[in-house]
Structure 1
C-alpha cells in the first residue's frame, strides 16, 4: 500500500489500472492500434493486445511504485510469467480465429508516483 499527500491509499488493482491506462495512451500516441486489453481466459490474462506495422503485439504491463528496492518491473517478468503469457496468447489467437503473419511480446515498465501519476515509462520491445 502506498499513501499520497492526502492520506489516500491505493490498492494494487488501482496501481495496475493506472499503469495500464498510461501504457495504452503511450502506445496509441506511437501509432499502435489497441485491439483488446485485460483479456482473460483460464490460462491467464493479457494486459494489452495491439497491432503495429502488421505485427500483433502482446504487451505485459508491469508497474512499480516507491523505491527500486523491490527490483525493476522488467525483473518481475519471470520464466513462469513468460510461459503463461505465451500460452494465453495462443488461446487468444485460436479463439479470435487469427493467424497473424508476425507476433511479438513486449513489456512496458511503468514507475508510478505516490499519487499514481507516471514517473517514467519504458517500452521494451520483443522481450520474449
Structure 2
C-alpha cells in the first residue's frame, strides 16, 4: 500500500471510530459505483449520513482538508449518494452530507479531527 493510501486509510479509520463513539451506525465503507466512491455511509436517528473523509499530514501545502471538498467533489458525492439511495431503496429518507477533516502527525497518529455536519 502506498503512502497516500495509508494516510487515507488512517483518516477513514479515525473517522469511523469517531462516528461510532457518537452513536452513528456505519452502514457501508468505501461504497463504489460508476459515479464515484462514498467514504463512509452512516445512520443516526433515522438520517442517512454520507461522510466525505479528507486527510492531510504535516504542514501540507495543499491547504486544509476541509478546503479540498470543492464544488466538483460535492457534486460527485451527491451523485454517488443518489445512486446508493436508489439501489438501497432509501430514497425517501432524510440525508446529510458531512465532512470529516483529519490531520495526521508522524507515525500516522491523529493530530486533529474536525466533523462538519451538513457541510453541503
Q: TM-score range by the shorter chain?
A: over 0.9
Q: Which runs of 5+ in 2 are unaligned?
A: none
Shift of 1:54: 1.3
Given the two structures, how large is their TM-score scaled by the length of structure 2? 0.95
- Identify the residue that residue 28 of structure 1 maps to in structure 2: 20
Q: Which runs of 5+ in 1 are unaligned?
A: 1-9
Q: 1:81 aligns with which of 73, 86, 104?
A: 73
* Secondary structure of 1:70 counterpart: coil
Contact in 2 for aligned 1:49/1:58 (Cα 8 Å): yes
- Identify the residue that residue 99 of structure 2 maps to in structure 1: 107
Runs of 4+ in 1 over 3 A off after TM superposition: none
Look at both structures and tell me which one has the larger radius of gyration over its CA atoms.
1
- Aligned residue-pair number: 119
- Identify the residue that residue 16 of structure 1 maps to in structure 2: 8
Given the two structures, how large is their TM-score scaled by the length of structure 1? 0.90
